[in-house]
Structure formats: C-alpha cells, structure tokens
Amino acid sequence: MGNKIRQSSFTVQMKGIAKELRTKVKIASVIKTHKIINSECDAIWDTGATRTIVSHRIANNCRLKEVGFMNVVGVSGKPQIIPTY
C-alpha cells in the first residue's frame, strides 16, 4: 500500500482569550525521506487563511525552489507580490 503519512491534530490550552494561536512546529520532507528539515520553528496559525505562508528564512532552510509569484493582501491591506514554492 505504499508509505502512510501519519496525520495528527493538536490542542493548545490558553488562559483567557487568546489574541493569536502560536505553537512550535517541526518541518519535514514528505516527498522523499520524511526527515526533519528544520529542527523547530515558531508558527502562527491563521484559521481563516486560504494559503500557507512561510518566511524567506524557512524557505531557504528547507531549500524550497521558487516556481512563480502571486499577489497577496494581508491584514495591513497593502498588496504584495510574493514568491510561491
């Protein structure tokens, strides 16, 4: 049946009302080796987002290759052109 990728969810408990959902994450290659690429980094989860964004530092550490660009508008309302990987 091939390799099965383990899926999991998480629960974060906060005191009071949280202004943001922030956790530590590990980034792994799911294409070939399943090995951890970047040992650990901070993640801010946007539960209403339609895309996933990573910093240039994370993209470089993971050796992601740019495949194009797209226009995005963040919470500032200012349009930006960012690379896609």
User: Tens of pLDDT along 27-64?
Assistant: 776 666 666 666 688 888 888 888 888 888 888 887 78
Instruction: Please indicate, yes or no, if residue 1 is contained in any of the structural domains.
Output: no
Instruction: Please indicate, yes or no, if residue 49 is contained in any of the structural domains.
Output: yes
Instruction: Please indicate, yes or no, if residue 25 is contained in any of the structural domains.
Output: yes
Instruction: Please indicate, yes or no, if residue 42 is contained in any of the structural domains.
Output: yes
For the question of whether the overall pTM of this predicted structure is more than 0.85, the answer is: no
49 within 8 A of 72, measured Cβ to Cβ: no
Which residue range is the domain that position 77 belongs to?
A: 21-84
pLDDT greater than 70 at residue 68: yes
Instruction: Please indicate, yes or no, if residue 61 is contained in any of the structural domains.
Output: yes
Query: What percent of the chain has pLDDT above 70?
Result: 82
Instruction: Please indicate, yes or no, if residue 15 is contained in any of the structural domains.
Output: no
pLDDT greater than 80 at residue 77: yes
Instruction: Please indicate, yes or no, if residue 70 is contained in any of the structural domains.
Output: yes
Instruction: Please indicate, yes or no, if residue 8 is contained in any of the structural domains.
Output: no
The helix (run of H) or strand (run of E) holding residue 59 is: helix 56-61
Q: Note the pLDDT of residue 70.
A: 93
Domain count, the chain: 1
Q: Read off the tokens for 41.
A: 């980094």
Calculate mean pLDDT across residues 6-14: 78
